Structures are given as C-alpha cells and as structure tokens.
Amino acid sequence: MRILVLGFTGYLGGHVAGHLRTLTGVRVLGGGRSPAAEFGIDLATARADDLARALSDAAPDAVINCAGTTGGDAVTLAEVNSRGPAVLCAALRKAAPTARLIHLGSAAEYGPGEPDVKVTESAATRPVAVYGATKLAGTVAVTTSGLDAVVLRVGNPVGAGAPAAGLPGRVAGLLREAGPDPAAVIRLGDLSAYRDFVDARDVARAAALAVSAPRTLPGILNIGGGQATPVRDLVHTLARVSGFRGRIQENGGGSARSGEVSWQCSDITAAEEALGWRPSYPLDDSLTELWTATAEPEGDRAP
C-alpha cells in the first residue's frame, strides 16, 4: 500500500510517518515543503491542477494530511488550515478519486465545553479563536468533498517533538533551560483550564487504523485521551519528570489560542467502534517521552 503523508516532517506528521514505516506492506511517501520530501507540495500555495499532477505521480492508495499550523496571523492560518484541505480535496477528485483521505482536525473546532460533559462528533462547533475556525473550515472542506474521507479531530497531543508553540513543548523547553537550580522560577499564564491530552503515538496509530479500516468510516472521529486533565497537573507532572527543583508561578492570562475555553474533553466512543482504537499511553508516559526528547544530543554537548 502506498501512503502519502503530507507534512511528514512536522510534529504529528513525523509520528504518523514513523509508525507507518513499521508496518508490513506499506510504502510511505513524503509530501511537503521539506527538501527531504519525495513530492514537493505546499498546500498553502499550490494550485489544484499542479497538485493533481503531483498526486497522479505519487499514485497513493491513501493520503494522510498532517499539514497544518497553530501559529501565525489569520491569513497564514487560513491559507494552511482552510485552503490547504480544500485544494487537496479538489486535486484528489481529479487525480486519485478512490484514495482514502485521512485529515487531522482539532478539538479546538468545538470551542468551549461544558464541565464534566464529553463532546461527541455531533456536538455544535463554536470555535472562539481563528485557529479553531480555520481548522473547522478545513474539516468542512473534507467532509463535504464526496471523497472516501475521515477527519480525525485530535485533542491536545503530547509527546516527543512537541513544538514550543504549544504549552507542553514550551514548558519542557523552559524546564530544560532552568536545570536543577532550586532558585529558578518559571512564570506561566493561567493554568486552571482542563484539556483532553493524547499521546502523539496514539494519534499516529489512529491514522494508520483509519487507512486500513475495511468499511466506510464516519466523516469525523474524535481522537483524544477521553478525560479532562487540569493543565496545572500537566505542568507539575512534567516538572516532576524533569527533576525541576524551582518554583512555578502563574501570572494569569491564558494564551490567545486557548481563548475562552476553560474545559475540553472528547467522547472517543465512536473511534473505538469504527477503528478498534483507544489511547494506550498514560499522560506520565507521554510527558516522559517529551522530556527525554528535549535532551541535548551527545555530540552537541560541551566537553
């Protein structure tokens, strides 16, 4: 099976491509802007006809779209998260209409949740920030495309390679900089929100299962940890894993991306029913993996 992974050098794309390479009978084709890509594809700028030619050359049995961005201004977010999936669907209809498309969406599309209530895929979508709105537009493009397609609506992924644009990656970097100094102080914003964290390796496994699922899949499947965890707990657990001896200080004021969302938790029942998938890594394991991955490579350390 030939599987084209778009954004294969990114955070989740790297996990997805790495997992697929462990499977028998799978050839992973890399697509993206990286020089390492077999197929140079930039969904933010590509024309549908040009992209269709690239897809025709790739001849994929399935496409997993991991390309996306969490940062930048509204134009950048729209180009990558909204236009990208739309032009991809248009090109697939021309060049590979029978290929299955797996697109990574985001739980940010739901917007604010109700405390103690897990959201199902049929819940209303009320994103409160540009990121969630652009991801929702991408989801709509995929689910209305007429293709054999599924959107995996991913919670807050945690694991090796987590970018500094997200809280887990940023905190890991701050902890690494602070080192064992007991006088160190890490200042963060409001940590009172609840989020549904999921290991990046579990996201990769869900994507692989979606590729090989033998029957037509629901248009959207939630992929999360299935429980709401206080962000404060994540930060303090990561501090414990790192051996941090200093102090964490909350200054109030959350991130713009989080907006007014104080609670998020996904119901993952449908993913279990459709894919036989459930998360397999507890949060402690995910944070340990993240922390270990931030260690400076041996060859880069000063003598």
Surface-to-core class of residue 127, CB atoms within 10 Å of its CB (0-12 exposed, 13-18 middle, 19+ buried): buried
- Residues annotated as catalytic (active site), given as ranges: 131
What is the three-class DSSP state of 220?
strand
DSSP 80: I
- Helices 84-95 and 130-143: angle between axes, nearest 10 degrees: 20
118, 267 in Cβ contact below 8 A? Answer: yes
Residues 101, 51 contacting (CB under 8 angstroms): no
- Both tokens of residue 18? 């790495």
Backbone torsion region of residue 218, taken as left when φ is above 0, otherwise alpha when ψ lies between -120 and 50, otherwise beta? beta
CA distances from 212 to 40, 207, 245 (A): 25, 9, 46
